[in-house]
Amino acid sequence: MSDRPRLLPLLTGARHGTRDAMTCLYRCGNACDHPVPNTSDNAYFGDVVNAEMSRRGVVRAGAVGALVLGFGGAAAGALAGAAPALAAPTTTPDAPQAFGFGRPSTGVGNGALTFKPIPPNTLDTLVVPNGYDHVVVIKWGDPVLPGAPDFDLHHQTAAAQSRQFGYNNDFVGVLSLDKQGRRALLVVNHEYTNEDLMFPGFSGLDGLSVEQLRTAMAAHGMSVVELERVAGTGQWQPVNKGPRPYNRRVTALSTKFELTGPAAGSAWLKTAADPKGRTVVGTLNNCAGGVTPWGTVLSGEENFNQYFVGADAAPAELKPKLDRYGISTASRYPSGSRKWERADERFDLAKHPNEAHRFGWIVEIDPFDPESRPRKHTALGRFKHEGANVIVAKDGHVVAYMGDDERFDYLYKFVSDKKFMKGNSWAARKHNLTLLESGTLYVAKLDQTSATEIDGSGKLPTDGAFNGRGRWIRLVSGNRSFVDGMTAADVLTFTRLAGDKVGATKMDRPEDVEPSLLTGKVYVALTNNTNRGVGSSPKADEANPRNANKHGQILELIEDRNDNASETFTWSLPIVCGDPTDPSTFFAGYDKTKVSPISCPDNVAFDATGNLWISTDGNALGSNDGLFATAVEGPERGHLKQFLTVPLGAETCGPFITGDNRSVFVAVQHPGEITGASVENPASNWPDGDYAKPGVVVTWRLDGGPVGS
């Protein structure tokens, strides 16, 4: 008898693809209503690799080096040094060593995922397995800065919101503040706002006051919040007394960012307000991110296009570039426009056509120095960044992996010029803070082994795998461009156009891309692409094997020679998502009667023993979104089990498993975001029983054991 949970009937309501129409409006500016930005005619794959080529598993990644993980490193990066003092000391405190590479240390479990999977459901609550508990750590409107006013739903102001926890939390990072794992910093992205669900009496964006628009701007950005562990358990709570010197709000309203790298100061980034092209006010639509080995947080600016209007009056030579980035030049107010130009005219491209070029970057923030200015790193390219995750290659260079979350867009990699400096001295950290300012940016081109067998149905090729080889194509290195007709500043500012020119592989919405710090293998969440093979859109290929793909897949990439700085790799699809009873699904060859159904993978993370955790966005199977876990090595590879579900209308974001394997953090984004909902008529009343509020949740085992086991 199968132990796979039964599917629920599909939810009703107007939907764009797999999301509710309200989510499409506010999160991505109705991207599905606009033409696919990538109209290039570059082929999906280059020459078909012959059947005798190396297949999955020929190259197996081994240990990744001697870098020691910090407290939160298992989920999103390695923290080599804990919090430095605000004034530069001669050394910084040692980071707690959660586990090293190759073999986990004691106390984190043996990696077996023994929890009983929860069934798909549409409950308006957060559901976790038996033997676990959970609590809301922080939610929209809670105080962040000491002295922040109490949240007042009916009298929201930009000044108050700039001191309170922002809206629609996405990425979650947890960085240790002490050796004992009792104090930590929570770093969270606030991706976007939903004014329907924020402001009572909402009657449309044009009806908002300028102060309400500024409040929405203040609700974007990031939060840094000091946490303390509760009584030695896996539970955490905000510190609510004392000075809390690290607590911080970064907003789209007023926070200044420094531009770094080859494109900084270029003509593309200069505006009337910033004639030097080196300082940007605000960050927009911050989606996923990662924790670096030197203890900073990277954040990806994603659907920034929806914040700009007036592109119809932009200079003619600029319009094709704006269109390629999803900024429609056909009308002043494209579908999904937020009308922010009423509060700040820089969002009007008719007046300030270069302002849009100042968004779409990877942002780096130092949570241990609240006085430091966040930076936007132009060396990592500009596109709709889901996020960036870093690993140190064999030779010491830092490698960052990134996805461009758009239908038919690309997978990228950055390799630093400088090498990572080990140790936790102030000098080492100062050096490592410069690693993302210069390097080589690549885009991926995938070849396939079974091209003639791919018919769009998702049928597995006769060799038993969707797999192939691939290579990283150089786009730019420092100030040298490798793309004909484009300068380095051109390539970095209009990276999508550079990818088009070199024939990169068009993918099914590459979102979170994360290397395993235990094996060096890289995992990519390809969320979905319902345009695949529809009309004149590109048809299925081996890496994207289904036409009208509404469920997505997971890509595994293994760099040649186990070297993350390599320019060639092998790839495979260990998981092709959907209902396991559907023949087009695949779970690494595991018995599909025993796996949980999964749809629309969005973010990936790792626990201390190397298990892969996958969160979903827009479940097309009808259940609430959730968090899933599977082994990626050994006989349990592909045995996917659902660990939790989020409330009605919500998305599961930012999964983060602490390095001691005792706590799982998730961001519950846009609960109750269902067409027709409002503050007065909520579709969800999570978490307080009144109106919906996005928030961050932590779950832990009641017996104190390692999560998952």
Structural domains of the chain, ranges and CATH numbers in brackets: 112-304+359-453+464-701 (2.120.10.30)
Q: Which amino acid is at 565?
A: A
pLDDT at residue number 99: 24
**CA 667, CA 649: separation in Å to the nearest integer?**
13
Residue 225 above 70 pLDDT? yes
Q: What is the mean pLDDT of residues 463-480?
A: 98
pLDDT of 19 reads 66
Q: Which residue has the tokens 């094997």?
A: 545
Cβ(640)–Cβ(629) below 8 Å: yes
Cα torsion angle, 366, 367, 373, 378, sign: positive
Given a cut of 80, whether residue 78 has pLDDT beyond it is no
Who contacts 275 (Cβ-Cβ below 8 Å, separation ≥6)? Answer: none
Q: What is the predicted pLDDT for the residue at 62?
A: 28
Report the C-alpha gap between 510 and 525 in whole angstroms. 6
Q: For residue 260, which of 414, 419, 83 has the smallest C-alpha distance? A: 414
* pTM (predicted TM-score): 0.89
Q: Residue 244's pLDDT band (boundaries 50, 70, 90)? A: very high
Distance CA 81, CA 84 (A): 8
Contacts of residue 673, defined as CB under 8 A and 6 or more positions apart, other chains included, come to 20, 22, 23, 26, 194, 197, 649, 650, 683, 692
Over range 101-108, report the average pLDDT.
Answer: 54
Question: Distance between CA atoms of 558 and 64, rounded to whole angstroms?
Answer: 12
In what helix (H) or strand (E) does residue 602 lie, and over which residues does it extend?
Answer: strand 601-606
At residue 209 the predicted structure's pLDDT band, cuts being 50, 70 and 90, is: very high
SS3 71: coil
What is the structure's pLDDT at 17? 52
Question: 211-250 burial, b if ≥16 CB within 10 A, otherwise e?
Answer: ebbbbbbbbbbbbbbbbebeeebbbbebbeeeebebbbbb
Q: Give mean pLDDT, residues 338-354.
A: 98
Q: How many CA atoms within 13 Å lie on the side-chain side of 585?
A: 22
Q: What is the CA radius of gyration of the chain?
A: 23
Beta strands in 271-419 (DSSP E): 279-281, 286-291, 297-301, 362-365, 375-377, 389-392, 397-403, 407-409, 411-419
In sequence order, the β-bridge partners of residue 695 are 139, 668
d(CA 619, CA 527) in angstroms, rounded, equals 10
Backbone angles phi, psi at 430, to 5 degrees: -60, -40
Q: Give the E-state strand segments of 404-466 in sequence order.
A: 407-409, 411-419, 439-446
In this model, does residue 282 exceed pLDDT 90?
Answer: yes
Locate 133 and state its tokens: 């508990």
Dihedral, CA of residue 246, residue 250, residue 254 and residue 259, to nearest 10? 100
Q: According to the model, what pLDDT value does residue 429 have?
A: 95
Q: Please, what is the average pLDDT of the chain? A: 89
pLDDT at 366: 98
As to burial, measured by CB atoms within 10 angstroms (0-12 exposed, 13-18 middle, 19+ buried), residue 157 is middle
Two structure tokens written together for 320: 């094709």
Q: What is the pLDDT of residue 316?
A: 98
d(CA 334, CA 311): 9
Structure tokens at 6: 């039964």
Query: Is the pLDDT score of 65 beyond 50?
Result: no
> pLDDT (tens digit, 9 = 90+) per residue, 295-325?
999 999 999 999 999 999 999 999 999 999 9
pLDDT at 288 over 80: yes
Give residue 43's pLDDT band: very low, low, confident or very high (50, 70, 90). Answer: low
* Residue 31, pLDDT score: 66
- Are the C-beta atoms of residues 386 and 302 closer than 8 Å to each other? yes
Lowest average pLDDT, out of 61-65, 454-458, 521-525, 548-552, goes to 61-65
Provide the greatest CA pair distance for the chain.
Answer: 69
What pLDDT is stored for residue 7 in this prediction?
Answer: 41
pLDDT tens by residue, 563-575: 999 999 999 999 9
Comparing 28-37, 186-195, 212-221, which segment has the lowest mean pLDDT? 28-37
**Residue of higher predicted confidence among 1 and 370:** 370
**Mean pLDDT of the region 221-249:** 97
pLDDT per position as a tens digit, 574-611: 999 999 999 999 999 999 999 999 999 999 999 999 99
Backbone angles phi, psi at 398, to 5 degrees: -90, 135
Strands 221-229 and 248-250: antiparallel
Cα–Cα distance measured from residue 521 to residue 572, given in angstroms and rounded to the nearest whole number: 11
Q: Is 322 helix (H, G, I), strand (E, B) or coil?
A: helix
Which residue spans within 314-424 are E strands per DSSP?
362-365, 375-377, 389-392, 397-403, 407-409, 411-419
Answer yes or no: is pLDDT of 28 > 80.
Answer: no
Residue 216: its H or E element:
helix 210-219
- In 3D space, the residue among 463, 502, 469, 467 whose CA is nearest the CA of residue 485 turns out to be 502
Residue environment code for 534-550, b if the CB has 16+ CB neighbours within 10 A, otherwise e: eeebbebbbbbbbbebb
State the pLDDT confidence band at 69, using cuts at 50, 70 and 90: very low
In this prediction, residues 50-72 reach a mean pLDDT of: 29
pLDDT at position 143 is: 98
pLDDT at site 38 = 77
Could you tell me if 161 and 153 are in contact, meaning their C-beta atoms sit under 8 angstroms apart? no
More confident residue, 419 or 9: 419
The structure tokens listed for 132 are 């676990």
The token pair that represents 374 in the structure block: 């966040």
Query: Side chain identity at 435, as an amino acid letter?
Result: L
> According to the model, what pLDDT value does residue 544 have?
98
635: how many CB neighbours lie within 10 A of its CB? 8
Place of tokens 């592989």: 505
Rounded average pLDDT over 225-239: 97
Indicate the residue type of 432.
N
What percent of the chain is predicted at pLDDT more than 90? 84
Averaged pLDDT, 407-413: 98
**Residue range 351-377, pLDDT digits in tens:** 999 999 999 999 999 999 999 999 999
